[in-house]
Chain A
Amino acid sequence: MGVHEQFEAEGGVATRTDDPWITIVWNDPVNLMSYVTHVFQSYFGLPRHEAEARMREVHEHGRSVLSTGPREKMEVDVQAMHSYGLWATLQRSGE
């Protein structure tokens, strides 16, 4: 889980406002709420209540921004989400 550790190490950087890319997770009718929460906890290292809040945002508002940072890092995060079967995209944060 090198990716995960790397994310933890870069946690401070990930919220910098001048970082131009974001990872968005989108709602879909297939993924279970419990599963999405578990993936957010285990990949992004979120505490359970925070992971649940993000999952609800996805479910009720259709999308949630899960990470912010350099494009290469967002590619890693989106790839991880696709590997878990979640529907994720990346884009410049200003778009």
Chain B
Amino acid sequence: MRGFEARGADAVATLDDEERLVVARIVADVAGLLGADAFGFDNEEYPSSTLTEVDDPFEHLRGLEESIREPSDPAILRLLPNAAPTDREAADEFRRLTDGELRSGKIRRLRRIWEALSSGGDEWVVPADEALATAAALTDVRLVLASRLGLTTDDDADRLHQEIDLATHALETDDERTLSIDPERVWLGMLYQALTWLQESLVQYMAGASEETDV
């Protein structure tokens, strides 16, 4: 994997077949959590979310006057947080007014990434005017992974890095017996780290691009 770099006006990253498949899959899963139909024509390959608990996608279309429930899945709640924890009326109104639009906007951006990664070729090309939307979608994916990994404080995030380093070292030295490694957690953690690194490279590209236009 190579992070995003500027090429002309575009940002270009390089991902091999497996990396593209993994990122496309998690992007589709997060969209599924938000209530999207399965991405792609082949629904066998992308069954509805493996992260479970799909909210009713048509909930926001059924009577805009009705209040919309707060998502029970903490990961979805992090994508669509309570906007006024101390003011029930304001929180309900905010959710009623914004839930549908926020979900569809997030799903649209995730779908764009999925399409880019599913079109073949190692290069992931993000045009300048899609860079912020792509970075925002990567944030949504990282928020869901962080929720599944139980990262709620800055210290939790630091500990995850140490945990992954230890696990990687143990696997490399064949020393698995001495550590209680949860392979799924390590895998999700490594995916989280890879997406963090990819997003950081994309934001660096955006910072460089905006400096150029300032001149």
- Listed in ascending order, the chain A residues whose CB lies under 8 Å from chain B are 27, 29-32, 34-35, 38-39, 41-42, 71, 75, 78-79, 82-85, 87-92, 95
Contacts and interface: CB of A to CB of B under 8 A. Distances in A.
Interface centre among A42, A83, A88 (most CB of B within 10 A): A83
B136 A85 contact: yes
Interface stretch (B7-15, B43-51, B94-102, B176-184): B94-102
A75 B97 contact: yes
Interface in B61-92: 78-87, 90
B135 interface: yes
Interface of B: 78-87, 90, 93-94, 97-98, 101-102, 105-106, 132, 135-136, 139-140, 142-143, 146, 151-154, 156-157, 196, 199-200, 203-204, 206-207, 210
B102 A90 contact: no
Nearest to A47: B214
Contact of B139 (A35, A42, A75, A91): A35
Contact of A85 (B79, B83, B94): B79
Given A29-B154, A39-B132, A89-B82, 6 more contacts: A42-B132, A71-B90, A75-B98, A82-B79, A87-B78, A90-B94
Nearest to A79: B98
Given A30-B151, A82-B80, A90 B90 contact: yes
24 contacts: A29-B152, A29-B153, A30-B142, A31-B139, A32-B200, A38-B206, A71-B90, A75-B98, A79-B94, A79-B97, A79-B102, A82-B79, A82-B81, A83-B136, A85-B139, A87-B81, A88-B81, A88-B83, A89-B83, A89-B85, A90-B83, A91-B86, A92-B87, A95-B86
